[in-house]
Structure 1
Amino acid sequence: MPKTSAINQPHTTVVLAMSADGKIADVTRSPARFSSSADQAHLESQVALADGVLFGAGTLRAYGTTRSVSNSQLQQQRKQRGLPIQPVQIVCSRLAQFDPQLRFFHQNVPRWLLTTEAGAEPWRDKSDYFERILVVNASSDGINWHDAYQQLNQLGIQRLAVLGGGNLVASLLAADLIDELWFTVCPLILGGAAAPTPVEGTGFSEQLAKRLELLAVERVDQELFLHYRLSRE
């Protein structure tokens, strides 16, 4: 079923790996390295399907890099579909306070910044860092996502892969902008009340909870790959 919030917006798929107890990182929020090579291949395949890859400032700071398409077969498939080899990598942040020495800024990928007027100002004369800066209206949680999606659609972004973190996913869910979710459940328990989860933010009441339709379950060794679609009935 199409989104009820608006039409002609990017089809959005969240792709995350989590522990068996639903954590996407440990309590120190260190980069999560617990998924298998099968999950990494799955992640790259989802990235290769996208026009743009969207992630938050915390995810960028934690990893220092982004997921590009390195598999030559996936690159060739993108060429055959008339797409550039690499999707646009879009980091979103209200204030855009990043270390310019991050490896991300040396990766051979197109980089966009999605931010507010305040966040855009320090980066305006630094085209080597971001090819494009999208300035969107601010909202109570930082970014007006309907404004952002309208701009992304106008720039030809038809499919988005969202790689975290939990606050970004929560904001997109609240704005009714997520279509699908891929969760890889990994065989470990991290625990910790402060450890990040796939969806953070303020949460939803049971009455307002987002309902999902399970599309597929696949087991690969000790991991489960769960594919959901948002139910809007």
Structure 2
Amino acid sequence: MENRPKTTVILAMTADGKIADFQRNAARFSSDIDQNHLEKQISLVDGVLFGAGTLRAFGTTKMVKDSELLANRKQKNKPSQPINVVISASGKIANNLRFFSQSVPHWLITTSAGIHNNTSKFEKVLTCAEIEAGKINLVEAFKTLKELGLNHIAILGGGELVANFLEQNLIDELWLTVCPYILGGKTAPTPVEGIGFLSSHGQKLELLSLEQIEHEIFLHYKVLSV
């Protein structure tokens, strides 16, 4: 992990393991308690990273607003908001999203082709090679983010991106909130998409903590080295 940031995936899912409905609409089924949990976890990191699909679905990002959390960041000489990093191989992101009016640093990781497609309002655009068509070399991307001072990153989805990170052994921890809803649907996205792993090569986890608050369960896992 010397050459990359520490990474923590933070996702809320339904009881049947979905992070959105079958139309991939923005998931808004978690409670205020989970939203506070998400804000707390975001307040601990240097950067928040998510895919272009997640950005398009929500149109915004989660900001640190709690006064105590902001004070803790200030005490640690951190800026009030983590850097928000969007990953998009195509670079095609609408510039009228409300995300760009939010007071957070906006960074984009894309490809050499994607940089020509991008017309959005990112303050910093980083280019990385592709390991195959449409798939960014995330090892290279993380090395660059580490060099730029991002030592701890929260990954907020989507499932395809999380799968890519797991395939390249780039995930250290997961926070999963299990919410009391069922969405169903064979095409509804899950926390880890992609091709999937054979059962003999599935990623092993170590449960660090489990907490029930009202009707939600908060699971904290460590990803064991392959």
TM over 0.5: yes
SS in 2 for 1:17: strand
Deviations 1:83-108 (A, max 9, x none): 00000000000001111110011111
Unaligned stretches of 5+ residues in structure 2: none
**Aligned mates of 1:96, 1:106 — CA distance in 2:** 19
Residue in structure 1 matched with residue 62 of structure 2 by the alignment: 67
Query: Is the aligned partner of 1:82 residue 2:77?
Result: yes
What's the counterpart of residue 155 of structure 2? 162
- How many residues were matched structurally? 225
1:172 match: 165
> Quick check: 1:131 aligned with 2:123?
yes
| Residues 93, 118 of structure 2: 8 Å contact kept | no
TM norm structure 1: 0.94
Question: Displacement of 1:122 after TM fit?
Answer: 3.7
Distance in structure 1 (CA, Å) of the matches to 2:129 and 2:63: 28
**Is 1:201 the counterpart of 2:194 in the alignment?**
yes
**Aligned partner (choices 16, 20, 37) of residue 32 of structure 2:** 37
Quote the offset at 1:9 in angstroms. Answer: 1.0
1:14 is aligned to 2:6: no
2:179 to 186, 194, 207: 186
Structure 1 position 8, deviation (Å): 3.0
1:217 to partner: Cα distance: 0.3
Q: Which runs of 5+ in 1 are unaligned?
A: none
State the identity %: 52
Paired AA for residue 201 in structure 2: L
Q: What is the alpha-carbon distance in structure 2 between the residues aligned to residue 46 and residue 118 of structure 1?
A: 33
Q: Could you report, residue by residue, the CA deviation over 1:181-216 in whole angstroms, capped at 9, with x for unpaired residues?
A: 000000011100000000001101112111000000
- Under a length normalisation based on structure 2, what TM-score does the superposition of the two structures give? 0.97
